[in-house]
Structure 1
Amino acid sequence: MSAMSQKITTFLMFEGQAEEAMNFYTSLFDQSEIVEIKRYGAGEAGVEGSVVRATFSLHGQVFMCIDSFVKHDFSFTPAISLYVNCDSDEEIERVYAALSQDGKVYMPLGSYPFSEKFGWVGDRFGVTWQLNLAKK
């Protein structure tokens, strides 16, 4: 699915870590790729080589991101998170471990009244993820 055929696309604003984040996220999920990257050139508003705009897909879901050249007084908030239905115990364990490394755990991976296995983490970039083991 391309960003143009997807009506609503999640848009992530980083401050110099967009490409690193995309590479990390696409390494975690099957059927994921960086689709396009447009970079700042010499003399442009952002740091040369940083991301003006990029699209990437995670398991077919398209996202957009940028490296903002403006420093903001805000970042990502846990009030909005990416919810992932994991297909296997191995997947949820692997993804949880990777995303929580150098991040923040909001709810440890475990059994909850609403899910057999669930965890909620903020990754090292500040993006929050709710991971759920999908029922078969």
Structure 2
Amino acid sequence: MAESRPTESAPAPGLLRSIAVACSPDTRRAGEVLDLAAAPEVTVRDGDRWTAYAAPDLTVALASPAEMPSRATVSLNVKVPDLHAALAVLTGAGAEPAGGVVEGDHELRAAVWLSPGVALSLYQPR
């Protein structure tokens, strides 16, 4: 793929600042599960409508459906030191598993649902 460079008349490229994930019926329950897994810093909370988190080391990934939990269209991925312990904490708090533990080439991974179609994927490097 050829490298594309803006021309003088092209607008300046934007800066990706956030990813909004629709969580139904509100953000509070999804936020509680995310807090248990990664404890990100909350930067904005607007009731149950919007919660923004600081994520200085965030990577945005485009993934094939085979790399996502079944039925997920969005996955928030959290690296954990002990997958089974993290999964036990989340499911013990009522999070619904999104399948079982999967052994990948470089990691163990599992996921829980934040909202229909939105998974919180945990992974433990090997």
Equivalent in the alignment of 1:33 = 41
Confirm or deny: 8 A CA contact 1:118 1:130 kept in the other structure. Answer: yes
**Distance in 1 between the 2:36 and 2:56 partners?**
11
Q: Specify the structure having the higher radius of gyration (Cα).
A: 2
- Aligned to 1:84, the other structure's residue is in SS state strand
One-letter code aligned to 1:29: A
Residues 35 and 81 of structure 1: CA distance in aligned 2, closer, same or farther (over 3 Å): same
- 1:56 equivalenced with 2:50 (yes/no): no
Which of 28, 31, 54 is the matching residue for 1:22? Answer: 31
Greater share of strand = 1
One-letter code aligned to 1:103: E
Residues 56 and 113 of structure 1: CA distance in aligned 2, closer, same or farther (over 3 Å): closer
Equivalent in the alignment of 1:10 = 19
Provide the identity percentage. 11
**Distance in 1 between the 2:76 and 2:104 partners?**
20
**Distance in 2 between the 1:113 and 1:16 partners?**
32
- 1:125 equivalenced with 2:115 (yes/no): yes
TM-score in terms of structure 2 length = 0.55
Measure how far apart 1:18 and its partner are. 0.6
Taking the TM superposition and a 5 Å limit, the aligned residue runs for 1:63-82 are: 77-82=71-76
Measure how far apart 1:115 and its partner are. 3.3
One-letter code aligned to 1:37: R
- Aligned to 2:115, the other structure's residue is in SS state coil
Confirm or deny: 8 A CA contact 1:26 1:57 kept in the other structure. Answer: no
Deviation per CA, 1:73-130: give whole Å up to 9, x if none: xxxx5133223332x22xx223322444441332x225x25135222x2325332133
TM-score in terms of structure 1 length = 0.52
Aligned pair count reads 99
Structure 1 stretches of 4+ with a deviation exceeding 6 A read none
- Give structure 2 stretches of 5+ with no counterpart: 1-14, 59-70
Measure how far apart 1:28 and its partner are. 2.3
Measure how far apart 1:55 and its partner are. 0.9
Deviation per CA, 1:44-65: give whole Å up to 9, x if none: xxxxxx42x331236864xxxx
